[in-house]
Amino acid sequence: MKVVTCLFILFFLVSGVSVLAQDDYKITDISDFLRTNDVKEIVKPFHAPPPVFYQYVPDEIVIKLKEDIKPTEIGIEAEPVVTGCNSLDELNKKFQVKLIRREFPDPPARAVTRQSEELRKYYIIKFGGQYDLKEVCKAYLSSDCIEKAELIGVHPLYDRFPNDPYFLSDQWNFYNDTDHDVDATLVWEHETGDTDVILAVLDSGVQYNSRDLGGLSPYTDGNMWINWTEYNGTGGVDDDGNGFVDDWIGWDFVNGASPCYSGEDCYTEDNEPTDFNGHGTHVSGIMGAITNNNYMVAGLAGGWNEGTSPANGVKIMALRIGWSAPDPIYGEVGYVRMDFAAQAIYYAVNHGATAINCSWGSSNTGGLGAAVNYATSHGVLVVAAAGNDGNSSPDYLGTRTDVINVCATDSTDVKPSWSDYGTWVDIAAPGVDILSTYSYHYNPLYIAWISGTSQAAPHVTGAAGILKSYADTLTADQIKSLLLDYTDYIDDLNPAYAGLMGSGRLNVFKALDAVEAPTVTVIQPNGGEVLYIGQIYTIMWDAADNVGIVATLIEYSVNSGADWTVIADLEGNPGSFDWTVTGPASDQCRVKVTCTDAVGLSGSDMSDDDFCPPYKAVARTFSVLSKHAMPVEFALNQNYPNPFNPRTEIDFSLSEDAEVTLEIYNLLGQKVRTLIESPLKKGEHTAVWDSRDNSGNSVASGIYFYKLTANQRVATRKMVLLK
């Protein structure tokens, strides 16, 4: 059904998108649906990326002031620029500086941290002439006011079935019969996305007036993130005080970008992050196109919209950092700037993003490294496309272990020749012929099939949105572990790249399934038991988990669970623990058992009701007898002598014939010696301990416990060995 003219115009380095000139493509209405909804389709064949026409912004750098230099000493917009630092002012004069401005505005009060204070020291300097910027950076580093001086890099933009008409026929990445997909249909049985989860798209913009993203006009009822304070505020006023005026649907950071494609917005930073070239709209649709709305395509975390309004998927935050540029060979290409990316990351973190998608090439310039540090320190997940050069060399984000780097697979789980690979890659995801929403020169009525790691990365970002929607307590590290640990193994399908495509191909259902926390049930003590301080008592519990329990924590409360004290921190799930009962005496005692699984999720249970450990025995349970008293009933006497060295006698009485065990334990609850393990007759009995363990070795001085068990009756006492 795809009727297209083959096109050979390259778009993004990382994504491999081809962009069409007006007379080079053919739009075909392929069905009644297309004719009714005026939807156009485009197929983008993959081609090798174009060379970068320049590497750095030609007339700007980023500086970071030293710790003792106050940001208020820097003039914001003045010519000539005077800062109050003599060495810096001399350099500004020498290089004809026209403008110095803060790179990162002050965050909202709730977001002020040590890291945000660090970012206050970053400034962008704009020069009035053309200079060798590497030499300029060296010169600025000689100033006693400057800690860093960076260039600004410019990089290419790299089973529940919805009723969306293209889903079954064309969105193989979400569902196909050979199961080389991310198992989206299984995921949607349990989670489809939540409106409280925000996924930031740092890209060429987002065509938010696409019906499959923004819904119907005024585009506030779709899956686009809305800054409601600004939307409901006063026009021309920074209502929320975040440094951005009227940023009701994100922000356009592109300012002074060059060269610029005819009709593209390259020169004004503003509140209109719309998408001229389509890349950001395509990425956004993979993550959050409105699903099951009987229109166009499905998104991985797009909600489930059976006639509902507003849409109920994750929210896509539109942050424009890229633009289209003309190219004599490729026609139209897309680029991003690292300072725009850094500022957008800062914005996304301060406005509650769960994850940030970066489908573009990168370098540690323009403040990007500091911004990524800011994101990861605030628990925000950063996902990056690996690249489309077909080699194993990472870009800057690829070198960072705190970023998830994603390579591409096709519909057979094989790495396409153009996808980058290497030990630095964390995970693979579908990236060949991916169908999603598209914008062609601001026209939202498009869908497109595009190949590239730019398309693989948003599968992972969307999966992060699914996991956060399902369990909002998950941290970024836990989400990362779930995504990377529960993949489908594909090394056998890619023997030449074994170990070089991350942990495997993304499987969102496996990751979601692993979110289940352990189930725990305390068996004993579970309420009503009467224990004795110093007695050795076996705490028992049942626990299960689908990914395995790695740790068990046992806690004790003497006030019905208002406060807890740790009594054991165990590896694995042993199911029982011999506890030496401790005080104080209380009739409101409970035990709590918490089990933690391999993903870091925990489940717990505590005693259903209170139990009681008094200081001494009560008559109805057993009587404490003197050495020569006649037995009244089951009883365990105090050893004699006590303290002792090296020998002591232990007397006890049985009210009936019984299977008897008499054992010695140390303070750690470890068994030292078994004195008796045999049947005994009713009456008085005496055992002797010579302060040796079961191996015949003399034990050290200290406190020991002796435990008598007879026909399910248990008694414990304390004794002291002094040498």
* Catalytic residue ranges: 246, 279, 454
- Alpha carbon of 223 to those of 194, 271, 503: distances in Å? 10, 18, 31
Distance (Å) of CA 66 to CA 85, 118, 147, 658: 11, 10, 5, 81
φ/ψ of 511, rounded to 5, equals -65, -40
Measured at the CA of 275, the angle between CA 426 and CA 47, to 5 degrees, comes to: 55
Helix, strand, or coil here: 143?
coil
Would strands 251-252 and 315-320 be described as parallel, antiparallel, or unpaired? Answer: parallel
Strands 602-606 and 565-571: unpaired
Cβ neighbour number for residue 712 with a 10 Å cutoff: 7
User: Across the strands, what pairs with 651?
Assistant: 686
Q: Give me the DSSP letters along 654-681.
A: ESS-EEEEEEEE-TTS-EEEEEEEEEE-
Collapsing DSSP states into helix, strand and coil, what is residue 62?
A: strand
> How large is the C-alpha radius of gyration of the chain?
34
Both tokens assigned to 454: 């730019």
Q: What residue type is assigned to position 591 of the chain?
A: V
Q: In what order do the strands lie in the sheet with 322-327?
A: 154-156, 331-337, 322-327
- Under DSSP, the state recorded for 692 is B
> Please, which residues have CB within 8 angstroms of residue 114's CB and are 6 or more apart in sequence?
none
The DSSP output letter for 322 is: E
CB atoms inside a 10 Å sphere around CB 532: 22
Sign of CA dihedral 316, 318, 321, 326: positive
Contact call for residues 479 and 464 (beta carbons, < 8 A): yes
Please state, in angstroms and rounded to a whole number, the distance separating the CA atoms of residues 127 and 171.
48
Helix (H, G, I), strand (E, B) or coil at 281: helix
CA atoms of 122 and 152, how far apart (whole Å): 13
Q: Where do we find the tokens 């392929």?
A: 30
**Residue 702: half-sphere exposure toward Cβ, Cα within 13 Å:** 12
Contact between residue 474 and residue 468 where contact means Cβ atoms under 8 Å apart = yes
Phi and psi (nearest 5°) for 508? -65, -35
CA dihedral defined by 79, 85, 88, 91, rounded to 10 degrees? 60
